Amino acid sequence: MIKACIFDLDGVIVDTAKYHFIAWRKLANELGFDFTEKENEKLKGVSRMGSLNLILEWGGIKMEEDKKVEWATKKNEWYKEHILDMGEEEILPGVRQFLNELKAKNIQYALGSASKNAAAVMNKIGLTEEFVTIIDGTKTTKGKPDPQVFQMGAEAMGVQAEECIVFEDAAKGVQAALNGNFYAVGVGSPESLGAAHMVISGFEGLTFDQVLQGIQ
Ligand code: BG6
Ligand code: MG
């Protein structure tokens, strides 16, 4: 019996994944190299410093810790320029309707994101109040694929993992959900999210019943 849902933010509720990519690419370019959209898949769901370490590895660059913090801060400033003017209109198609359906069916929902900007983005798009809790990168100590972020969300809602569906656009996020015994719905392509119980291309036209059937 499903009692709750947990949503990742970047790439699930809003299309901020593309802004992370643009900002990281700018950083790589300033350091004299580039990386592809395919490599970017590996950054999804990964913390800011974790992402930086991966990118530096791809560029074959070694860097002192204090320099890393400087570059990570720069990237975050670039990223924040993109989210500055965000509003409700940036909520991805169908998400609002899907949340409304959950509400009508008394299914609780929470946020489970690696981002330290999650609270700011949720405020901008006006969704903060209706989520039971917002678990983000400022609250967790372990990154995806560790299930901690989702476990904290489930605990706040008073539900077990097996009673909860996680929606994720990152392979590492899907893995985190599975590692914690949650149901996982991948949002994106089956190619990278095939491990999930169900993969959807987005929320447009999606009903909760379709999800319940799809995860069986
Ligand atoms: C995740 C994104 O949601 O948050 C990653 O998928 C990002 O791309 C991570 O690196 C951390 O975000 P932030 O906002 O704390 O730098
Ligand atoms: Mg994501």
Strands 134-135 and 164-168: unpaired
Q: Give the Å distance between the CA of 17 and the centre of ligand 2.
A: 6
Q: Which of 115, 116, 124 to mutate to test the pocket of ligand 1 (most atoms within 8 A of CB)?
A: 115
- What is the domain partition of the chain in residue ranges? 4-14+92-214, 17-83
Looking at the chain, the whole-number percentage of residues with pLDDT higher than 90 is 100
pLDDT at 28: 98
Cα-trace Rg, the chain:
17
* 15 part of the active site: no
Task: State the average pLDDT over residues 203-208.
Answer: 98
What's the pLDDT band for 211 if we cut at 50, 70, 90?
Answer: very high
Question: Euclidean distance between the first and final Cα of the chain, in Å?
Answer: 11
Q: Give the Å distance between the CA of 71 and the centre of ligand 2.
A: 22
Q: Please state which CATH number belongs to domain 17-83.
A: 1.10.150.240
Question: What is the strand order of the sheet 198-200 is part of?
Answer: 134-135, 108-112, 4-7, 164-168, 183-187, 198-200
Matching CATH number, 4-14+92-214, of 3.20.20.10, 1.10.3720.10, 3.30.70.260, 3.40.50.1000: 3.40.50.1000
Q: Which residues, listed in sequence order, are joined to residue 184 by a DSSP beta bridge?
A: 166
The per-residue pLDDT for range 87-104, each reduced to its tens digit, is: 999 999 999 999 999 999
pLDDT at 114: 98
Work out which ligand 1 atom sits closest to the CA atom of 8: 3
77: which 2 tokens?
A: 């400033």
Buried b (16+ CB within 10 A) or exposed e, 195-205: ebbbbbeebee
Q: Which of 27, 48, 86 to mutate to test the pocket of ligand 1 (most atoms within 8 A of CB)?
A: 48
Helix (H, G, I), strand (E, B) or coil at 75: helix
What's the pLDDT band for 23 if we cut at 50, 70, 90?
Answer: very high
Q: Which residues contact 209 (CB under 8 A, 6 or more apart)?
A: none
The per-residue pLDDT for range 124-167, each reduced to its tens digit, is: 999 999 999 999 999 999 999 999 999 999 999 999 999 999 99
pLDDT at 126: 97
Q: Give the Å distance between the CA of 132 and the centre of ligand 2.
A: 19
99: which 2 tokens?
A: 């949340």
* 8 part of the active site: yes
| Contact present, 2 and 165 (Cβ < 8 Å) | yes
Residue with tokens 């660059």: 61
